Amino acid sequence: MRRALELASRGLGHTSPNPVVGCVVLAPDGRTVGEGWHRRAGGPHAEVEALSLAGDRARGGTAVVTLEPCDHTGRTGPCSGALLAAGVARVVYAVPDPTARAAGGAATLRRAGIDVTGGLLGPEAENVNHAWLTAARRGRPAVTWKYGATLDGRVAAADGSSRWITSAESRAEVHRLRHEADAVLVGSGTLRADDPHLAVRGVADAVQPLRVAVDTEAAAVRPGARVLDDAARTLVAVAADLPAGRTAAIEGSADVVRLPRAADGRGLDPGAILAELHRRGVRSVLLEGGPTLAGALLAAGLVDRVVGYLAPALLGAGAPLLNDAGVATVSAAVRLEITDVARVGPDLRVTAVPRPAGTPTTEGP
């Protein structure tokens, strides 16, 4: 299964709106006779790839797959049927398919007399397929908030300068995160301060994500902005109540969408932004926006993962990494569970996920 997870991860950034899936086929004597992964939407599924390599050697053997085999016919046939046709005796999978359309493969295989086991290395498989599983379960894109900050939590100095707080190694990793996401999201503050490009660089065979600029008043994205070049597609989201013609200067360079304002009148409704992206086929979002947009999504409970790059530097003043997130007291803090800590060049990368509401915490003295 660990090998199947490694294979699945090779599909990150290429399979959306489908999941990443890996499969290893073992002969009856335990030898590996076939491997495969889902390479792109519309292409062969992992099981089909692995079975095609295994051929007759799969008969009586075991298929190990990271996601419950699908049980429906879409652009390809059901993997449950392919496994039955190959004559495998056993199927082991990590995570059940949460979608009504594709789920049921395990039950179909069991009814046919196949020995089926689920849940092996489930947490690891959940992590590899985090974005797709989150989108499938919640009906909106999974949101990963990425930021780079000093150890005292500043994303810019007092004079507004922010390049470069983190190291070249951390910035290279961010391009990998962009490559794995369907969309990269920033707000007007970041657009004004940094004139970001948001496209992927330095990743071989990268599929460029949709660049999404939240520009409520249509005042931050101007003709000539780097986000409007032809390196990738761009969507500019503005308030629905703006006068007609306010975005005319950029409509030839970007797709402009009008969305409702947030209930408090500050910015756009975060839920409406994600709903629009989901409608457009986006299943994973990398939030690179500044402290205001991050605070709005966090306050709305729409951040699913946090990846922070902490530089060994202190500024003492300047922009904080997070503005108002709807937290008025320590007891209401958004508590996180750290899932990974690693050195990246001189920086420290911390990955965490929000704890479910009501999860007990360990209190200090």
What Rg, from alpha-carbon coordinates, does the chain have? 23
Alpha helices in 141-186 (DSSP H): 168-180
Closest CA to 259 of 274, 237, 278: 237
Residue 363 has pLDDT above 50, yes or no: no
Same domain flag for 99 and 197: no
Q: pTM here? A: 0.88
The range of the structural domain enclosing residue 150 comes to: 139-354
Q: pLDDT band for 60, please (50, 70, 90 cuts).
A: very high
Active-site residues, by number, are 47
- 253 is a domain residue: yes
Q: pLDDT band for 356, please (50, 70, 90 cuts).
A: confident
pLDDT at position 364, please? Answer: 44
The type of residue at 346 is: P
Residue 117 has pLDDT above 70, yes or no: yes
What is d(CA 217, CA 197) in angstroms, rounded to the nearest whole number?
20
CATH number, residue 167: 3.40.430.10
What is d(CA 246, CA 214) in angstroms, rounded to the nearest whole number?
15
- 363 is a domain residue: no
pLDDT at position 365, please? Answer: 42
pLDDT at position 289, please? Answer: 72
What is d(CA 62, CA 302) in angstroms, rounded to the nearest whole number?
39
Same domain flag for 214 and 178: yes
Same domain flag for 209 and 117: no
Query: pLDDT for 309-330, tens place per residue?
Result: 999 999 888 888 888 777 778 8
Query: pLDDT for 165-174, tens place per residue?
Result: 899 999 999 9
Final residue before a domain boundary, out of 129, 159, 180: 129
Domain count, the chain: 2
Same domain flag for 101 and 191: no
- DSSP bridge pairs for 284: 142
Question: How confident is the model over 300-314, as a mean pLDDT?
Answer: 94
Residue 359 has pLDDT above 70, yes or no: no
* Contact assessment for residue 344 and residue 183, using Cβ atoms and an 8 Å cutoff: no
Q: pLDDT band for 357, please (50, 70, 90 cuts).
A: low
Question: Could you please report the per-residue DSSP string of 272-308?
Answer: HHHHHHHHTT--EEEE---HHHHHHHHHTT---EEEE
Same domain flag for 226 and 321: yes
What is d(CA 2, CA 48) in angstroms, rounded to the nearest whole number?
19
pLDDT at position 330, please? Answer: 87
Angstrom distances, CA of residue 354 to CA of 184, 232, 254, 337: 20, 31, 33, 6
Report whether the peptide linkage leading into residue 37 is cis, meaning its omega lies within 30 degrees of zero: no
- 360 is a domain residue: no
CATH number, residue 63: 3.40.140.10
* Contact assessment for residue 129 and residue 66, using Cβ atoms and an 8 Å cutoff: yes
Same domain flag for 295 and 146: yes
